[in-house]
């Protein structure tokens, strides 16, 4: 999908009440030109929107590296969750897969939206389910949740393929 097509999908979703866009991977910062083009499209969309729309990106790179190599892209975001996922450092903090990952607010809107969650531990981590021709699980589940879910689904005759949570 081209950046323009993706921006069109997001535009249509904004009309339905979208208040934030989260960019995940692969590694978004490994495609800086495309990421920049998307963020510029979203900046234009935010200018025309009636409601504030925050932009958050995940990166496996440490914050210092992002600041050094991609400072201009960070200026277009409201927040970033930075640092590689490390299975040996589990966390229950919301939106982070491992304890070494930092949630960093980069703008006033980012501080308003993300600061209350810096040390928030949800009772049950939010995981979204989207269904089209496939089933998509979106979120940061607790350690062991996805294998348990996979087992439950398999016992009901649903087999997951192309999973991304396995190393």
Domain tally, the chain: 2
In this structure, the answer to whether residues 60 and 135 fall within a common structural domain is no
Alpha carbons within 13 A on the beta-carbon side of 21: 23
In this structure, the answer to whether residues 62 and 13 fall within a common structural domain is yes
DSSP collapsed to 3 states, 124-161: CCCEEEEECCCEEEEECCCCCHHHHHHHHHHHCCCCCC
In this structure, the answer to whether residues 16 and 82 fall within a common structural domain is yes
More confident residue, 12 or 68: 68
For the stretch 121-145, pLDDT in tens is 988 766 777 777 777 777 777 777 7
In this structure, the answer to whether residues 108 and 141 fall within a common structural domain is no
pLDDT on residue 163: 63
Name the residue with tokens 């979204």.
128
In this structure, the answer to whether residues 11 and 81 fall within a common structural domain is yes
For the stretch 31-40, pLDDT in tens is 999 999 999 9
Residue 158: which domain range?
126-167
In this structure, the answer to whether residues 37 and 77 fall within a common structural domain is yes
């Amino acid at each position: 999908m081209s950046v323009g097509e993706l921006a069109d999908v997001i535009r249509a979703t904004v009309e339905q009440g979208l208040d934030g866009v989260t960019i995940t991977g692969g590694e978004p910062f490994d495609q800086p030109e495309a990421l920049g083009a998307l963020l510029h499209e979203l900046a234009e969309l935010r200018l025309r929107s009636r409601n504030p729309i925050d932009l958050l990106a995940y990166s496996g790179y440490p914050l210092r590296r992002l600041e050094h190599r991609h400072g201009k892209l960070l200026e277009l975001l409201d927040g970033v969750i930075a640092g590689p996922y490390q299975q040996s450092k589990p966390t229950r903090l919301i939106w982070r897969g491992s304890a070494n990952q930092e949630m960093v607010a980069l703008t006033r809107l980012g501080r308003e939206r993300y600061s209350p969650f810096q040390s928030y531990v949800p009772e049950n981590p939010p995981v979204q389910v989207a269904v089209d021709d496939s089933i998509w699980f979106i979120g940061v589940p607790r350690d062991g949740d996805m294998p348990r879910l996979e087992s439950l689904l398999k016992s009901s005759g649903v087999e997951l393929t192309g999973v991304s949570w396995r190393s």
